[in-house]
């Protein structure tokens, strides 16, 4: 049986076309939303604001996201996807162990320094905003944070398993220290307006890794 392209004028084609347009609209909105939230916080988001900035009908955005909280949660998911693509996926191409750990840490510093989000690390900004505010937004941010710190700890443990990290080192503590250096560099780069802090973070990271190395 020969394959046939779906006619855009057919009911199936019309539906598919609407779905594609809807997906494109959603991607455009979320790309703008993550940029706004990285600078002004998730509270700075509103369906009305995004509709006005992007010249999209407010009713259309309500159909996509429903409520402000649903928009915020979708923005967190979109930011996570960008983070995974920018930081985690490239590092997974490295050999397991210390090489992968170094690549993860360097990729994070590049992601912050290069301003993949104009406000620096999206999740650092969101964590400061929602750390003391229980609810679905904080839970979503905390889940991403636990996922990231857990990945660093697991990578340290992998390095430990192949003899690259001391047997008596605590992977969770090493991960805590390393992530603290990254977060400090991100915050101070924004606060002080200098990239010098990234070089300081790299020195601190190397010292901590040397201390943990077997």
**Residue-wise over 44-65: b if at least 16 C-beta within 10 A, else e?**
ebbbebbbeeeebeeeebeebb
3-state secondary structure of 114: coil
Q: Three-class SS of residue 64?
A: helix
Which two tokens mark 162? 């192949």
Residue 6 has pLDDT above 90, yes or no: no
Distance of alpha carbon 197 from alpha carbon 182, whole angstroms? 10
Q: What is the rounded distance in angstroms from the CA atom of residue 210 to the CA atom of residue 156?
A: 12
First and final C-alpha spacing in the chain = 63
Tokens, residue 24: 């494109």
For residue 144, pLDDT beyond 60? yes
Domain ranges of the chain: 11-212
Residue 61: which pLDDT band, with cuts at 50, 70 and 90? Answer: confident
Q: Which CATH architecture has domain 11-212?
A: Orthogonal Bundle (1.10)
Query: Residues 111-124: pLDDT tens digits?
Result: 999 999 999 999 99
Q: Could you tell me the pTM of the whole model?
A: 0.86
């Amino acid at each position: 049986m020969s394959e046939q392209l779906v006619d855009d004028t057919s009911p199936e084609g019309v539906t598919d076309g609407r779905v594609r347009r809807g997906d494109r609209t959603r991607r455009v909105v979320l790309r703008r939303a993550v940029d706004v939230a990285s600078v002004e916080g998730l509270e700075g988001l509103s369906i009305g604001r995004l509709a006005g900035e992007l010249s999209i009908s407010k009713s259309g955005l309500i159909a996509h996201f429903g409520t402000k909280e649903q928009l915020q949660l979708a923005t967190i998911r979109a930011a996570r996807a960008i983070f995974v693509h920018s930081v985690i996926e490239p590092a997974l191409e490295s050999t397991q162990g210390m090489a992968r750990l170094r690549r993860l840490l360097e990729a994070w510093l590049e992601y912050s320094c290069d301003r993949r989000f104009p406000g620096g690390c999206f999740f650092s900004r969101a964590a400061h905003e929602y750390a003391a505010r229980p609810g679905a937004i904080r839970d979503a941010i905390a889940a991403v944070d636990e996922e990231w710190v857990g990945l660093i700890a697991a990578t340290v443990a992998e390095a430990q398993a192949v003899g690259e990290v001391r047997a008596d080192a605590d992977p969770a503590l090493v991960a805590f220290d390393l992530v603290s250096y990254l977060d400090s560099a991100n915050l101070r780069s924004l606060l002080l307006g200098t990239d010098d802090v990234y070089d300081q973070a790299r020195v601190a990271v190397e010292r901590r890794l040397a201390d943990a190395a077997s």
